[in-house]
Amino acid sequence: MTAGQPQPSMRSVERAFDVIEVLERSDKPLRLSEIARRAGLSPATTLRLLGVLQRRGFVVAEQQAYHLGPATLSIAHGFLVTDSLSHAASPVLQELAATTGLTATLHIRVGLERIVIARVDGADPLRYQLPIGRRLPLHLGAGKVLAGAMPEEELDALIATVRDLDTADGKPVSEAELRAELEQIRERGYHISVNERVLGSSGVSAPVPAPDGHPVASVSISGPAERHPEDEMVAWVPELRRAAAALGRARDF
């Protein structure tokens, strides 16, 4: 083994997580060959890992296809009850949704994506479901207040992974335009989006600050675009910032 290479046991752990992530990203059960292809592993290695994960309840096999097992749900529960930000989110988002009538959502950054960790529907909810745990892009919608705070090398990596920067309504976006918009978002401290990630949706998002001012999460409110235009979203910015500050303070305790 050469210097700098991970030990075999560590490689096995990483490969097991690769398999779990492949299944987590899929909306349907996958066959062995497809899991191996997406994880970049041989079918034999993938089968061995799936066997271990099955025995621990992290994977279920049905009709020659695999999907995540119930043990993954208990891990998610453990995060939600022990993470200080998740624990503090419910009352803050409930008040924000009640005040604005819009759906209030909290996201955290994981790698080059964001994940929904809390959501409260308002009186005028979105037409689509936004489930807890859903992975969403950083370069669209509420993700932009997180992307705007990324170091330059991480932003370069993010842009390199995105095939299409255009918005959901087909508006073309160049790399230069995205970088300029992220700089503007960083300066003003919020982002307005209309038909950006989902057609028919408008929203406004703001960063949840840590004591050092660096964003630890993104909080947003959103609703149907035809009833909640951009000027209304701008008017809710002070309320959204109050919620973001409350979440930031709650996280510190």
pLDDT tens digit sequence for 89-132: 999 999 999 999 999 999 999 999 999 999 999 998 777 777 89
- Residue 214's pLDDT band, with cuts at 50, 70 and 90, is confident
Rounded average pLDDT over 170-176? 95
pLDDT tens-digit readout, 63-81? 999 999 999 999 999 999 8
Q: Write down the pTM of the prediction.
A: 0.88
When the candidates are 1.20.58.220, 1.10.10.10, 2.60.40.420, 2.40.37.10, the CATH number that belongs to 8-73 is: 1.10.10.10
pLDDT at 7 (0 to 100): 63
Q: State the Cα–Cα distance between residues 230 and 34, nearest whole angstrom.
A: 43
Cα separation, 203 vs 190, in Å, equals: 11
Domain ranges of the chain: 8-73, 83-251
Rounded mean pLDDT of 213-222?
A: 93
Q: What is the SS3 assignment for 55?
A: helix
**pLDDT, tens only, 154-168:** 999 999 999 899 999
The amino acid that residue 32 corresponds to is L
Q: Decide if pLDDT at 8 tops 90.
A: no
Strand partners, 221: 104, 204
Residue 213: which pLDDT band, with cuts at 50, 70 and 90? confident
Distance CA 223, CA 127 (A): 8
How far is 186 from 180, CA to CA, in rounded Å? 10
CA nearest neighbour of 106 among 90, 122, 83: 90
What is the rounded distance in angstroms from the CA atom of residue 32 to the CA atom of residue 28? 13
Torsion sign across C-alpha atoms 223, 228, 145, 243: negative
pLDDT, residue 131, reads 86
Mean per-residue pLDDT of the chain: 93
**Distance from C-alpha of 42 to C-alpha of 18, rounded to nearest angstrom:** 13
- Please indicate whether the domains covering 8-73 and 83-251 agree at the CATH topology level: no
Interval 42-54: pLDDT, tens: 999 999 999 999 9
Question: Contact at 8 Å (CB) between 167 and 137?
Answer: no
Quick count: other Cβ atoms within 10 Å of Cβ 34?
A: 15
Q: What is the pLDDT of residue 5?
A: 56
Please state which CATH number belongs to domain 83-251.
Answer: 3.30.450.40
Q: Do the Cβ atoms of 101 and 123 come closer than 8 Å? A: yes
Measured in degrees and rounded to the nearest 5, phi and psi for residue 112 equal: -105, 25
Taking CA 116 as the corner, what is the angle to CA 188 and CA 67, rounded to the nearest 5 degrees? 150
- pLDDT for 216 equals 92
pLDDT for residue 211: 81
- The CA distance from 31 to 105, in Å, is 34
